[in-house]
């Protein structure tokens, strides 16, 4: 797999490289042992973030979204899910994912730990994914997707004329 799972790897990198980002957000979640806080994993908010942050430009869920990166339908996810394993897989594909984000979105997606947890929850929740549709995609993100489709159609037309 050249590109591993969601468009979240850049955030995962930033969370370790820039600890001040994590410190600036309100911590909510479950304490797991001394000094370890696991964020809440809200799949509904993850559905909103998946579209709003631009993950949907490259990835699809429920048949909605891009095709430049793997589909993230819950039926293809490990069950039970280990969110750390999911993040580790993203880390392995970070370089390619960051390049795609810069190419497709013009910049790298920024997420904090709670947002990452929410998107991971959405990626693993078939009931919440069943609600996902084109109506969830904000206009600015939809415009990027339409532009990309136009570029692909233009490239196909140029190939036919050559």
Residue 19's pLDDT band, with cuts at 50, 70 and 90, is: very low
What confidence score (pLDDT) does residue 147 get? 54
For the chain, percent of residues with pLDDT exceeding 90: 49
Q: Calculate the average pLDDT of the chain.
A: 77
133-153 pLDDT, tens digit per residue, is 999 999 999 988 865 544 443
How sure is the predictor about 28, in pLDDT bands with cuts at 50, 70 and 90?
low
- In angstroms, the Cα distances linking 10 to 13, 23, 41, 56, 125 are 5, 18, 19, 15, 23
Q: What is the DSSP letter of 37?
A: E
| Per-residue three-class SS string for 88-117 | HHHHHCHHHHHHHHHHHHCCCCCCCHHHHH
Question: How sure is the predictor about 16, in pLDDT bands with cuts at 50, 70 and 90?
Answer: very low
Dihedral of CA 60/67/98/94: which sign? Answer: positive
- Given a cut of 90, is residue 95 above it in pLDDT? yes
Whether this model's pTM surpasses 0.85? no
pLDDT of 146 reads 67
Q: Is the pLDDT of residue 159 over 50?
A: no
**pLDDT tier at 39, thresholds 50, 70, 90:** confident
Per-residue pLDDT of 113-133, as tens digits, reads 999 999 999 999 999 999 999
User: Using the 8-state DSSP alphabet, how is residue 40 labeled?
Assistant: P
């Amino acid at each position: 797999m050249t590109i591993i799972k969601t468009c979240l790897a850049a955030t995962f990198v930033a969370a370790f490289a820039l600890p001040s980002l994590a410190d600036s957000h309100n911590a909510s979640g479950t304490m797991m042992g001394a000094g370890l806080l696991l964020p809440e994993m809200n799949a509904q908010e993850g559905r909103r973030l998946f579209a709003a942050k631009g993950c949907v430009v490259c990835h699809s869920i429920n048949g909605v979204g891009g095709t430049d990166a793997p589909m993230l339908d819950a039926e293809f996810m490990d069950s039970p899910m280990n969110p750390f394993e999911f993040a580790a897989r993203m880390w392995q594909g970070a370089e390619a994912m960051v390049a795609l984000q810069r190419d497709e979105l013009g910049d790298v997606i920024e997420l904090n730990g709670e947002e990452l947890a929410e998107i991971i929850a959405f990626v693993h929740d078939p009931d919440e994914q069943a609600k996902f549709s084109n109506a969830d995609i904000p206009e600015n993100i939809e415009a990027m997707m339409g532009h990309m489709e136009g570029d692909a159609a233009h490239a196909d037309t140029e190939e036919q004329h050559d």
